[in-house]
Copies of this chain bind each other. A is one copy, B any other.
Amino acid sequence: MSSGKVKVVEKIFEANDTLAAQIEGRLKDSGVFAINIMASPGAGKTSLILKTIEKLHRNFKIGVIEGDTAAVTIDSDKVTALGIPAVQINTGGQCHLDAVMIGQALNHLALSELDLIIVENVGNLICPASFKIGTHANVVISSIPEGDDKPHKYTGIYRGIDVLLINKIDLLPYLDFRMDYFRQGVEILNPGVTTFELSCKTGEGFDGWIQWISKQVDAFKK
């Protein structure tokens, strides 16, 4: 590759980060706490969002931004069915959300009427880690069936996150998953990261996550 090509890539990241910082400020000024949910396809992003809404909708006004590679509204339909405003981003095949997309999506949400925005990133354990989108916390969901070696192999995404959710613990009896080995891998990349083991299906372990997010939203609220 020529150095010219590398320069183009650097400028794209730079422009994205500048816009992300602006979005972060815009949300903070509006008293809205925003989180970016990242995970492999099928780790339970939508399930987590639906259950979080169920637990928090009486306390906070919530909005959701759904990112998908294809032109579908499967996930946002589930959110709006709960009476929660949702904006769908179809990336047209692109493997991650970026700050431009979030900036546009925010124009479709009434920020002054919201306390919390949950962004569901595209299902991908690699690319979303490289793109800031202006949220205040990065959350990764890992799930038991994905296997206990994931933080040893997909190192990038665990590094910059604020919360790790280990989902589908109801399947532990049926799988060979060494929780110690998994958490050791994460600890090397992100020492002391806030971690909750839970099941979106049974609700087990969900309270810790709800307490954490409630505390953040309260701190931002105007």
**Interface, chain A (partner B; CB < 8 A):** 5, 8, 40-42, 68-70, 72, 74-75, 93, 95, 122-127, 130, 143, 145-147, 149-150, 152-156, 168, 170-171, 174-175
Query: Once the chains bind, are A123 and B153 in contact (CB under 8 Å)?
Result: yes
**CB-based contact A41/B72 at 8 Å:** no
Contact of A74 (CB < 8 Å), options: B95, B126, B149: B149
| A125/B126 in contact, CB under 8 A | no
Is there an interface contact between A69 and B145, defined as CB atoms closer than 8 Å? Answer: no
A72 vs B188: C-alpha distance when bound (angstroms): 14
- Minimum Cβ distance to chain B for residue A115 (Å): 28
The number of times this chain is found in the oligomer is 2
| CB-defined contacts of A93 to chain B, threshold 8 Å | 126, 130, 156
Q: Is the CB of A41 within 8 A of B42?
A: no
Contacts of A147 in B (CB 8 A): 41-42
State which of B40, B69, B70, B174 has its C-beta within 8 Å of the C-beta of A41: B40
28 pairs of residues in contact across A and B, judged by CB atoms under 8 Å: A8-B8, A40-B41, A40-B42, A41-B146, A42-B143, A42-B145, A42-B150, A69-B154, A69-B155, A69-B156, A70-B152, A70-B153, A70-B154, A70-B156, A72-B153, A74-B152, A93-B126, A93-B130, A95-B126, A95-B127, A123-B126, A124-B124, A124-B125, A126-B127, A143-B145, A145-B145, A145-B171, A171-B175
Pick from A72, A95, A150 the residue with the most CB of B within 10 Å.
A95
For residue A72, which residues in chain B have a CB less than 8 angstroms away from its CB? Answer: 152-153
Residues in B whose Cβ lies below 8 Å from that of A153: 41, 68-70, 72, 74-75, 123
**Which residues of chain B are near A40, meaning CB under 8 Å?**
40-42, 123, 125, 146
Residues of B within 8 A of A69 (CB): 126, 153-156
> Is B70 touching A95 in the complex (CB atoms < 8 A)?
no
With a cutoff of 8 Å between Cβ atoms, the chain B residues found around residue A146 in the complex are: 40-42, 145
* In the bound complex, CA of A175 to CA of B47 (Å): 13
A175 surroundings in chain B (CB, below 8 A): 171
